[in-house]
Amino acid sequence: MKSGVGKTGVVAVRSGGPSDRPRCVLLRADMDALPVEETNDVPYRSRHPGKMHACGHDGHVAIGLEVARRLGGLALGGTVKLAFQPAEEVSHGAQAMIADGVLDAPTVNAAFGIHLWNDLPVGTVGVMAGPIMASVDEFEITILGRGGHAAAPHQTVDPVLVAAHVVTALQSLVARRRNPFEEGVVSITQVNAGHAFNVIPGRADLRGTVRTFGGRFFDDAPALVEETAQGIAAAFGARAEVRYRRLSGPLVNDAHMAALMAEVAAQVVGKENVKSGVRTMGGEDMSYFLQRVPGCFAFVGSGPRNGKPSPHHSAGFDIDEESLVIGAEVMSRVALRYLEGG
């Protein structure tokens, strides 16, 4: 076992199999929490004020530990590497672990992971080939105008009005610049300007995100956002500065590995409970592993069988814990199945 991989990541390796035909499978469990104050009144409520496991990553750690316990006592057809990964929510952890060599020595040939998923009832598993989680880009736009008296707008260049037009124009990218057969979301999530009712401020700041499953809109988005903001600003006599960052690419499941995972999931929950078509425009930095090695990421249903699930990232987030048993079964079996030569 090795700690401090990618800052606070932990990697456990169980070697096995013939040395002349080495095979190594990586099982990934992310472990970070979120800056949310928990409102659940349960014995396992977070003991850290302002922080809670609002995405189920504590469940991923529990599943990872159980998988280690199960595989620890078995003769394996190859090597299993368990990667407990930090900083998924801020999209840094997978990259940091890769930079620290988690995919090397021994070389990883395939990677699997799961996310407990409250949008699916417990007892179901969502698996499919291809892109299932979106790319995550972040942008910040500063609009520079000229401040002045609210009653004399002609003496100013109003960045608030420019910002409003920029917001509308960025939404038009999805409506009019994207091929409708490609998935895409643009969300402006922060708008900041001004400090008084009678003063036109000198600048306005916008922040937001672009999500895609790859393709043309993914390639074009940085230029489209920049040109749109700058073009609109120029039309009003203002200036726009755009900072655009790619955080993670789309998460793409390998067809063969997805078939393997669907097969073991069917053994665990029954074929009728393995769902195809479960996708989200949320992001996942598991995508960094799957850009480098073939693998599959699946959704393990953790919502209630009946009734409304608590949303991920909400202060009332909780899971049906039967999902932990299912997750551990699916992850152990997919590792064994892959090492058998699946």
Cβ nearer to Zn ion, comparing 78 with 301: 301
Task: Name the minimum Å distance from CB 34 to Zn ion.
Answer: 7
Looking at 48-56, 91-99, 241-249, 285-293, which segment touches Zn ion (CB under 5 A)?
Answer: 48-56
Q: Which of 5, 25, 36, 55 binds Zn ion (CB under 5 A)?
A: 55
Looking at 55-63, 64-72, 97-105, 246-254, which segment touches Zn ion (CB under 5 A)?
Answer: 55-63
Using alpha carbons, list the distances in angstroms from residue 304 to 119, 120, 149, 324.
9, 8, 56, 13
Task: Name the minimum Å distance from CB 139 to Zn ion.
Answer: 20
The helix (run of H) or strand (run of E) holding residue 287 is helix 286-292
Looking at 47-55, 99-107, 222-230, 238-246, which segment touches Zn ion (CB under 5 A)?
Answer: 47-55
Instruction: State the Cα–Cα distance between residues 9 and 97, nearest whole angstrom.
Output: 7
Task: Name the minimum Å distance from CB 165 to Zn ion.
Answer: 33
Helices 322-339 & 57-72 angle (0-180, nearest 10): 50
Cα dihedral 157, 245, 37, 44, rounded to 10, equals 170
Task: Name the minimum Å distance from CB 89 to Zn ion.
Answer: 5
Tokens matching residue 162:
């420019």
The helix (run of H) or strand (run of E) holding residue 61 is helix 57-72
Task: Name the minimum Å distance from CB 53 to Zn ion.
Answer: 10
Cβ nearer to Zn ion, comparing 150 with 185: 185
What sign results for the dihedral spanned by CA atoms 15, 16, 20, 23? negative
Phi, psi of 129 (to 5 degrees): -80, 160
Cβ nearer to Zn ion, comparing 201 with 301: 301
Cβ nearer to Zn ion, comparing 36 with 206: 36
Give the footprint of Zn ion on residues 309-338 (CB under 5 A).
Answer: none
Residue nearest to Zn ion (CB): 55
Cβ nearer to Zn ion, comparing 76 with 120: 120
Task: Name the minimum Å distance from CB 313 to Zn ion.
Answer: 6
Residues 6+ apart with CB under 8 A from 289: 26, 28, 94, 98, 103, 111, 113, 295
CB 72 within 8 A of CB 335: no
Cβ nearer to Zn ion, comparing 55 with 257: 55
Interface positions with Zn ion (CB under 5 A): 55
